[in-house]
């Protein structure tokens, strides 16, 4: 399961437990009510107590006020579309919402979010946030529109038993793409019934395929990028882009990855974490830091002795060039709607969600990496998962998605390119050329440049 899906499942259960599920189409104008919108995709009870505590504290500190949860039932990328539709109208817009940081700039451009710089000046806890995390909520106008809930990093999760049978160390750390493919090839040769590796690609998983798959490759090449931040233009015709597509083509065409049918299953993330890894059907997968939280007590797929069987390591740069490893980081944040009739009360709710106690609880339960200095030192948080320190340390290798309102449209074209080579429908050369043509048409020729 991808990270938002996991968190959303927990939030839906929390709302059910508290007994406050409601329709998102409400036209309620009660200024003592804060409507909170978030994605809901399933049912589990992992985070219900946390939500109850947030609601109880907010309503206790603000007599007569109500925190009203408004779940948006969706899967994958359609959450952003549904939230945008809600946000267009004052009648349906929430007061407070959770959103992926990649959604901030397009939402600001559309006029859906309210800047919160003035409120942040009076909030002492804001000084606890790392500068890089603060910037995650900033838009092109330099104003801040969201407070981060947590961040993430990505690496390789692998089955120690499978690697051992393939003649590899259970403390494995590949130094290049070639070593990753070599390991997958050895797994296939020694264990033909095992899927050697998984790297997400294709349209069904949307941004998961791009950020957790293709971007981990592209940003691990020397000079590889989707967007030139200096010229503020999207890059076309790069060798690095083609090299990344070639890696995807190689692992899928050589039977080192899931079949195209498996790879294009929207539920692939669930299968990896809840079935293939625990059942020793998959050798390795490029995943986020939160994967193990599914196996912890109260998780989606509890697995008592997972540490005996699962290892983790960084994903290498293409040829082992400095800095040696690559990770992509993102995250989710809380933002105020531009239509809120009571921004002060909505911001009070935001502060309760993100005070030290609740922020630590959220990061612990969801498997997020802390964005607050005090939470990073919290003993319960640090002891919640044996992988926390490793994946937190990967942040120094992290790259970030382009901070541009056009990113979502470009990302969609990347997913299309990966799917076309995954399925064998197009050559790497043709897929890259179609991507170049599509983004030039989408963002305009003035906003693109040929790779140098």
- The encoded tokens of residue 68 equal 């009203």
| Domain 3-152+330-400 part of CATH 3.40.190.10 | yes
Measured CA to CA, the distance from residue 236 to residue 159 in angstroms comes to 37
102 versus 310: the higher-pLDDT residue is: 310
76: left (phi over 0), alpha (psi -120 to 50) or beta: left
Please report how many Cα atoms fall inside a 13 Å half-sphere around the Cα of residue 104, on the Cβ side: 33
Instruction: Give the pLDDT of residue 356.
Output: 96
74 versus 162: the higher-pLDDT residue is: 162
Alpha-helical (H) ranges within 104-214 are: 104-109, 117-121, 131-135, 160-165, 177-190, 207-209
3-state DSSP call for residue 277? coil
Measured CA to CA in angstroms, residue 266 lies from 113, 119, 199, 208, 328 at distances of 30, 39, 14, 10, 21
The pTM score is 0.84
DSSP letter string, 35-83: EEEEEE-----TTHHHHHHHHHHHHHHSTT-EEEEEEEE--TTHHHHHH
Domains 3-152+330-400 and 155-328 share a fold: yes
Name the least confident of 15-19, 65-69, 101-105, 195-199. Answer: 15-19
25: left (phi over 0), alpha (psi -120 to 50) or beta: alpha
Tell which CATH architecture fits domain 155-328. 3-Layer(aba) Sandwich (3.40)
Judge if the upstream peptide bond of residue 15 is cis by omega within 30 degrees of 0.
no
- Sorting pLDDT into bands at 50, 70 and 90, what band is 39? confident
Instruction: Give the pLDDT of residue 41.
Output: 53
- Sorting pLDDT into bands at 50, 70 and 90, what band is 15? very low
- Sorting pLDDT into bands at 50, 70 and 90, what band is 133? confident
Domains in the chain: boundaries: 3-152+330-400, 155-328
- Sorting pLDDT into bands at 50, 70 and 90, what band is 38? confident
- Sorting pLDDT into bands at 50, 70 and 90, what band is 69? confident
Q: What is the mean pLDDT of residues 57-68?
A: 96
Q: Which of 31, 22, 3, 18 is nearest to 72 (CA)?
A: 22
């Amino acid at each position: 399961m991808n990270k938002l899906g996991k968190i959303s499942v927990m939030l839906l259960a929390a709302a059910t437990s508290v007994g406050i599920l409601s329709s998102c189409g409400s036209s309620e104008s009660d200024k003592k009510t804060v409507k909170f919108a978030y994605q809901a995709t399933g049912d589990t009870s992992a985070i219900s107590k946390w939500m109850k505590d947030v609601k109880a504290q907010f309503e206790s500190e603000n007599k007569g006020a109500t925190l009203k949860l408004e779940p948006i039932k969706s899967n994958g990328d359609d959450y952003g579309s549904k939230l945008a539709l809600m946000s267009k109208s004052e009648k349906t817009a929430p007061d407070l919402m959770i959103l992926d940081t990649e959604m901030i700039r397009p939402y600001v451009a559309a006029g859906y979010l309210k800047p919160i710089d003035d409120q942040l000046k009076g909030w002492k806890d804001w000084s606890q946030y790392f500068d890089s995390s603060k910037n995650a909520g900033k838009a092109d106008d330099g104003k801040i529109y969201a407070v981060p809930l947590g961040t993430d990093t990505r690496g390789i999760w692998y089955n120690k038993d499978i690697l051992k049978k393939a003649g590899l160390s259970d403390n494995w750390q590949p130094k290049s793409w070639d070593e990753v493919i070599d390991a997958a090839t050895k797994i296939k040769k020694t264990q033909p019934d095992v899927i050697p590796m998984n790297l997400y690609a294709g349209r069904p998983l949307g941004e998961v395929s791009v950020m957790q798959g293709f971007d981990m490759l592209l940003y691990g090449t020397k000079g590889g990028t989707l967007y030139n931040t200096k010229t503020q233009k999207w890059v076309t015709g790069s060798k690095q882009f083609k090299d990344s597509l070639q890696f995807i083509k190689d692992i899928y065409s050589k039977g080192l990855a899931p079949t195209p049918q498996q790879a294009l299953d929207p539920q692939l993330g669930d299968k990896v974490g809840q079935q293939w890894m625990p059942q020793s059907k998959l050798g390795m997968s490029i995943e986020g830091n939160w994967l193990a939280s599914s196996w912890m007590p109260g998780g989606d797929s509890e697995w008592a002795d997972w540490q005996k069987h699962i290892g983790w390591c960084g994903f290498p740069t293409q040829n082992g060039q400095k800095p040696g490893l690559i990770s992509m980081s993102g995250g989710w944040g809380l933002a105020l709607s531009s239509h809120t009739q009571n921004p002060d009360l909505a911001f009070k709710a935001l502060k309760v969600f993100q005070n030290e106690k609740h922020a630590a609880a959220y990061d612990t339960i969801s498997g997020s990496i802390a964005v607050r200095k005090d939470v990073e030192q919290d003993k319960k948080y640090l002891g919640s998962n044996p992988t926390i320190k490793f994946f937190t340390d990967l942040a120094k290798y992290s790259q970030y998605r382009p901070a541009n309102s056009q990113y979502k449209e470009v990302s969609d074209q990347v997913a299309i390119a990966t799917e076309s080579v995954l399925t064998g429908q197009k050559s790497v050369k043709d897929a890259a050329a179609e991507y170049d043509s599509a983004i030039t048409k989408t963002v305009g020729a003035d906003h693109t440049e040929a790779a140098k």
